Amino acid sequence: MFALSVRAKAYYELIKFRLSALVTFSAVFGFILGDSGAMFSWGKFFALMVGGFLISGASGAANEIWERDYDKLMKRTQNRPLPLNIISLTEAYWFTSIIAVIGISILWIFTNPLTTGLGILSMILYVFVYTPLKRVGPIAVFVGAIPGAMPPLLGWTAATGAISYEAMIIFGIQFIWQFPHFWAIAWVSDEDYKKAGFKLLPSGGGKDLNTAIQIMIYTLFLLPLGLLPTYFGLTGLNSGIVATVCGVLFLAQTFSLMRDCSRKSALRIMFGSFLYLPIVQISYLLDKIS
C-alpha cells in the first residue's frame, strides 16, 4: 500500500498537477467567457477540462523527462520522481505519450479542429522550443509565454470555434503577465537555475536595476490591458475596477524591487503574480455571469 502511495505521488508530481490544474482553470475561464449563454455545452466544457488537463500534464511530464539530468543539480527539483528513479525513464515516456494522445483525442472528438491544433501547438512550443531555450537565454521567456497564455484562448475557441479580438485580449493579458511572473521566479531561484545553466533573467541575467525596470514595465502594461474586456463590452465595470486595483497593487511591488533589488522584493512579486491572474479572471467571470 505504501509503495502504491509513493508511485501515485510520483505520477502526481510528474504531471505537475497543481500547475496543470491552474492551466485547466484558465481554459475553463476562456470557455465560460466565450460562451454565448444561449445553450451551455456541458459536453464541450468537460471535454476541455479533461483534454486540457491531460495535454498540460503531458507537457509538464515531457519537460521533466527533458530536464531530468538538470533537475538533479537543483535543490528545488532534485526530489522529483525521475531524478530519484521512482519512475523509470521508459515508464515516463509511455505515460506521457499515452496521456498526450488521450488528451488530443478528447479535444478532437468533442471540441473542434482549431482547439485541438492550438493544444498541439502549445505542447510543441513548451516541450521542444521553450524547454531547450532555457539554457540559451532569456528569449525562452518570450517563447514560453506563448503556450503559457494559450489556455484561455483554447477555452474561447472550444466555445466559439473561432479566434476573435476578444480571444486575443484574454490571451494578451495572460501573455504579458508571464513576464513579471517568470522573471520574479528566475530572480528568486537564480542560484539554483545557474547550477543547471538556465538563463532566464533579462539584461544579461543580472539581478539588478535594469531587470527590475523591465519587470516594472511589463507589469505596467497590465493596467490598460486589464481594462480592455470592460472597454469592449466583454465584461462589466466591476471587473474593470478589480483588474485596475489588482494591477496597481501588483505594480507597487515592482517599485520595491527597483529600490533595493532584493530577493525578498522579488519574492513578493512572485506571490503577487500568483494572486493577480486568478483574482482578475474570477472577477471577469463573475461580471460575465451576473
- For residue 104, give the CATH number of its domain: 1.10.357.140
Q: Which residue in 64, 55, 60 sits closest to 105, CA to CA? A: 55
Residue that finishes a domain, picked among 134, 163, 192 = 163
Is a pLDDT exceeding 90 seen at residue 25? Answer: yes
Q: Please tell me whether residues 84 and 173 are part of one structural domain.
A: no
* pLDDT tens sequence across 8-19: 999 999 999 999
pLDDT at res. 2: 58
Q: Please tell me whether residues 116 and 226 are part of one structural domain.
A: no
* pLDDT tens sequence across 72-84: 999 999 999 999 9
Section 47-66 average pLDDT: 98
Is a pLDDT exceeding 90 seen at residue 290? Answer: no
Is a pLDDT exceeding 80 seen at residue 1? Answer: no
Is a pLDDT exceeding 90 seen at residue 289? Answer: no
Section 59-83 average pLDDT: 96
Q: Please tell me whether residues 4 and 139 are part of one structural domain.
A: yes
What does the alpha-carbon distance between residue 188 and residue 201 come to, in Å, rounded to a whole number? 11
Residue that finishes a domain, picked among 142, 163, 184 = 163
Query: Which residue in this structure is represented by grid cell 477555452?
Result: 155
Q: Please tell me whether residues 172 and 92 are part of one structural domain.
A: no
Section 221-235 average pLDDT: 96
Q: Please tell me whether residues 174 and 158 are part of one structural domain.
A: no
What does the alpha-carbon distance between residue 61 and residue 123 come to, in Å, rounded to a whole number? 11
Q: Please tell me whether residues 248 and 192 are part of one structural domain.
A: yes
Range of the domain at 286: 165-290
Q: Please tell me whether residues 154 and 173 are part of one structural domain.
A: no
Is a pLDDT exceeding 90 seen at residue 230? Answer: yes
Q: Please tell me whether residues 64 and 118 are part of one structural domain.
A: yes
**DSSP string spanning 222-288?**
HHHHHHHHHHTTSS-HHHHHHHHHHHHHHHHHHHHHHHH--HHHHHHHHHHHHHHHHHHHHHHHHHH
Residue-averaged pLDDT of the chain: 95
What confidence tier does 207 reach under pLDDT thresholds 50, 70, 90?
A: very high
* pLDDT tens sequence across 159-186: 999 999 999 999 999 999 999 999 999 9
Structural domain count, the chain: 2
Residue that finishes a domain, picked among 163, 179, 208 = 163
Q: Please tell me whether residues 100 and 157 are part of one structural domain.
A: yes
Q: How far is CA 137 from CA 93, 195, 252, 290, in A?
A: 27, 15, 28, 44
Q: Please tell me whether residues 62 and 196 are part of one structural domain.
A: no
pLDDT at res. 37: 73
Q: Please tell me whether residues 48 and 144 are part of one structural domain.
A: yes
* pLDDT tens sequence across 231-245: 999 999 999 999 999
Q: Please tell me whether residues 55 and 77 are part of one structural domain.
A: yes
Share of the chain above pLDDT 90, in %: 93
CA angle centred on 132, ends 208 and 126, rounded to 5°: 95
pLDDT at res. 237: 96
pLDDT at res. 38: 72
